[in-house]
Amino acid sequence: MRIRVLGAAAGGGFPQWNCNCRNCDGVRKGSLRATPRTQSSIAVSADDVNWVLFNASPDLLAQYKGFAALQPARAIRDTAIRSVVLMDAQIDHTTGLLMLREGRPLEIYCTEMAREDLSTGNPLFKILGHYCGVHWHKVPTERGNSFPVIGAEDLKFTAVPLKSNAPPYSPHRDNPLEGDNIGMRIADPRSGKVLFYAPGLGEIEPHLKPFLEEADILMVDGTFWTDDEMIGLGLSKKRARDIGHLPQSGAGGMIEVLKPLKASRKILIHINNTNPILDEDSDERRQLASAGIEVAFDGMDVKL
């Protein structure tokens, strides 16, 4: 199995277009040693030919351009993406679907809850129906219920429901339901190796622990360093945990969670533009390195 990080940033990317925090201002001016990142998405392949897209970010066209394998040019119109798996219905994970409207019907995998949001409050599926169309495949969230995905038939996929609020446009906003947000266990029976992917992770619920403990590679939520990061900068009144993201630092934070796990690689993805770990010379980045935790970047290639 091969995993390609297409985008490693949280919503808005890095630098964010309207932000002048220390990170965004520094990377624009060249005074900060940091690498720009597009909005969060990965692609997974079992054969280096066919790819499954996980989340379709607004930066999808730039991400396509940055990874030649997605355009094999075997016909006058072609793509290596065989299907799309959505982890939620958030705008920064779904807007890129509109960039795929000129092709064949999209094979989209998501939960019933995400489908409802994308058919009502933010009716992308209905809009796409006027263009390429959508073939929807229900992602089951019942415990231990795995499912196949077109284009990666050699891999085994298992969705793990995660506690999270639905998007602001959801009919059940502030009434969280199972399937609003998921993590994904991706197993390769040929090698026996397992990836666990969860770009939005706000709480280590009891049912999640076995998935974290068995994984050979973890690619998980790296949004914020502290719980009050946005509050301290005057950018929000909400804490990280309030919006479904477990901060890295502090008691019960992501560093403490990841440290004892056996995974050979522990990678943070979906990193907010305000997070000090983006500064490669920061104390926070050194703390991650000493804990054996990596920071994802656009173009990162992972094999297992």
- Check whether 152 has a pLDDT greater than 90: yes
- 279 DSSP β-pair partners: none
Q: Which pLDDT band holds residue 278 (cuts at 50, 70, 90)?
A: very high
Two structure tokens written together for 36: 């720009």
**Extended beta strands in 56-133, E state:** 81-85, 106-110
Residues 227, 11: Cα–Cα separation, whole Å: 17
* Rounded average pLDDT over 166-181: 94
Residues 18, 16: Cα–Cα separation, whole Å: 6
Q: Which pLDDT band holds residue 144 (cuts at 50, 70, 90)?
A: confident
Q: Within 13 Å of residue 153, how many CA atoms lie on the same side as its CB? A: 2
Residues 13, 271: Cα–Cα separation, whole Å: 8
Summarised one tens digit per residue, pLDDT across range 116-130 is 999 999 999 999 999
**In the chain, what are the domains?**
2-303 (3.60.15.10)
DSSP 273: T
Give the pLDDT of residue 263: 98
Q: Which pLDDT band holds residue 241 (cuts at 50, 70, 90)?
A: very high
Q: Which pLDDT band holds residue 143 (cuts at 50, 70, 90)?
A: confident
Residues 254, 298: Cα–Cα separation, whole Å: 21
Give the pLDDT of residue 227: 95
Question: With contact defined as beta carbons under 8 Å apart, do 26 and 280 qualify?
Answer: no
Got the DSSP string for 175-231? S--TTSBEEEEEEETTTTEEEEEESS-----GGGHHHHHH-SEEEEE---SSTTHHH
Question: With contact defined as beta carbons under 8 Å apart, do 72 and 80 qualify?
Answer: yes
Q: Which pLDDT band holds residue 159 (cuts at 50, 70, 90)?
A: very high
Question: With contact defined as beta carbons under 8 Å apart, do 11 and 18 qualify?
Answer: no
Two structure tokens written together for 85: 């798996």
Two structure tokens written together for 293: 């935790």
- Check whether 245 has a pLDDT greater than 90: yes
Residues 271, 8: Cα–Cα separation, whole Å: 6
The pTM (predicted TM-score) of the whole model is 0.97
Q: What share of the chain is helix, strand, coil (3-state, %, to 5)?
A: 25, 25, 55
* Rounded average pLDDT over 257-277: 98
* Rounded average pLDDT over 4-11: 98
Question: With contact defined as beta carbons under 8 Å apart, do 8 and 268 qualify?
Answer: no
Residues 257, 237: Cα–Cα separation, whole Å: 26
* Rounded average pLDDT over 273-301: 98
- For residue 184, CA distances in Å to 73, 138, 152, 194 come to 30, 14, 14, 10
Q: How many helices (H) and strands (E) does the chain have?
A: 9, 14
Summarised one tens digit per residue, pLDDT across range 26-82 is 999 999 999 999 999 999 999 999 999 999 999 999 999 999 999 999 999 999 999
Give the three-class secondary structure for 280.
coil
- For residue 2, CA distances in Å to 6, 42, 51, 68 come to 13, 10, 9, 15
